Amino acid sequence: MEKPLEKAKLPQGTPVYADKSYDSTANKDVLKRMKLKSRIMHKGVRGRKLTEREQRVNVAISKTRYKVERTFGSIHRWFHGGIARYVGLA
C-alpha cells in the first residue's frame, strides 16, 4: 500500500478508502506516518465480532466505496475491458 500512496503524493488529511483486506496495523501505520485519513473497513476475526460502532463505520465507508466501484465497473463494461486491475488512486 505504501508505494502507490507515495507515488500519488496526496495532500495531508486526504481520506484513503480501502476494503477489509487492507485492515492491518502496518497499513494503518503507513497512513498515520503520511498524515492521511484511514478509511479502511474493519475486519472481524474469529472469536471477536465487530462492535456496533465498527459496523456503522463500515457502512459509512461502503457508501463511498460503492460509488467508486460502480464507476470502475461501468467503465470496464462500456469500453469492453478484459481483466480489470486497479492499483493506486480510485
The answer to the question of residue 20 being in a domain is: yes
Number of domains present in the structure of the chain: 1
Q: What is the pLDDT of residues 9-59, one digit of tens each?
A: 999 999 999 989 999 999 999 999 999 999 999 999 899 999 999 999 999
Give the domain extent around 27.
Answer: 2-78
Residue 90 lies in a domain: no
Whether 21 is covered by a domain: the verdict is: yes
Is residue 49 included in any domain, yes or no?
Answer: yes
Flag whether 88 is in a domain: no
pTM of this prediction?
Answer: 0.73
Asked whether residue 83 is assigned to any structural domain, the reply reads no
* DSSP per-residue codes, the chain: -HHHHHHHTPPTT-EEEE-GGG-SHHHHHHHHHTT-EEEEPP--BTTBPPPHHHHHHHHHHHHHHHHHHHHHHHHHHHTT-SS----S--
